[in-house]
Amino acid sequence: MRLPAISRLLVFPALLLAAWSLGASLTDPLLVPSPVATWQSLAALASAGDLWIELAISIRRVLSGVLIGALVGVPFGVALGAFRGVDRYLGAALPAVSATSSAIWAVLGVLWFGLSDVATVFVVAMTAAPLFAVNARDGVKAVDADLIQMGRSMGYSPLQVARKILLPSVLPSLFAGTRLAVGFGWRVGLVAEALGSPTGVGFRLKQAVDLMHTAEVFAWSVSVILIMLVIEGLVLNRVEARCFRWRKPAGASGPVAA
């Protein structure tokens, strides 16, 4: 039963690789390098150590920015969802910050913090915070008030209401915000590194473009995609499965009475 499932997973990568190979054979290598050339460039970067060093730098910056965005955005979103007064007076800040282009944050980050890690972390944090805030706000507003009232009638303390009712209800929204924040964080982090950093994957991508090393451009791009797949598959999916192991899978049925 496992082989067909694995085969289905390989269909899209196989089609993508075939289309890439065909496109490379019909196009100038300066525009589209072949998968073989890209793999050779990726292997060269890995053997020289550059791949691991630059990826580690970018991952550290992105995760730091996402963490700061969560620490700012989640409490703000919870406050917006739980208190009407806060939403009435401060709710307009959320769409204003969300509508601000990441390129603007990148320029401001370089202007305020110079060519440093802080500039990239700032850009990622300013992009991630509204995503966390929106999802936290929507998660709190979606909590069933009857459940809270029922918990209070059963003698739950405020801490127990938060732990047993509010948190399980809000967690799905927070995970959705985390996925968005990590994905967008990578994108804007690369842009920030390309604009104002002497290190990181974004800087190396821009450097390869300037030097017309197209195979290296593709190699760095492939490395970022692989890292995102690892974060999604081995980290976020596992953490989510562990946090929601109490949930009944869709379509599952209970025991059938005899």
What is the DSSP-derived secondary structure letter of residue 164?
Answer: I
What is the DSSP-derived secondary structure letter of residue 249?
Answer: P
In degrees and rounded to multiples of 5, residue 129 shows phi and psi of -55, -50
Dist CA 214 CA 193 (whole Å): 19
Structural domains of the chain ordered from first start: 57-204 (1.10.3720.10)
Neighbours of 204 (CB within 10 A): 28
Closest-CA residue to 178 (of 39, 56, 65, 78): 65
The tens-digit pLDDT sequence of the chain (258 residues) is 455 555 666 777 788 888 878 887 788 777 888 888 889 999 999 999 889 999 999 999 999 999 999 999 988 888 888 778 877 878 788 888 888 887 788 888 888 887 778 889 999 999 999 999 988 888 888 777 777 777 777 777 767 777 777 777 778 888 888 888 888 888 888 888 888 788 889 899 999 988 888 999 999 999 988 888 888 777 777 777 776 665 555 444 444 443
Tell me the whole-structure pTM to 2 decimals.
0.80
Contacts of 10 by beta carbon, 8 Å cutoff, 6+ apart? none
Of the CA atoms within 13 Å of residue 38, those in its CB half-sphere come to 19
Dist CA 161 CA 176 (whole Å): 22
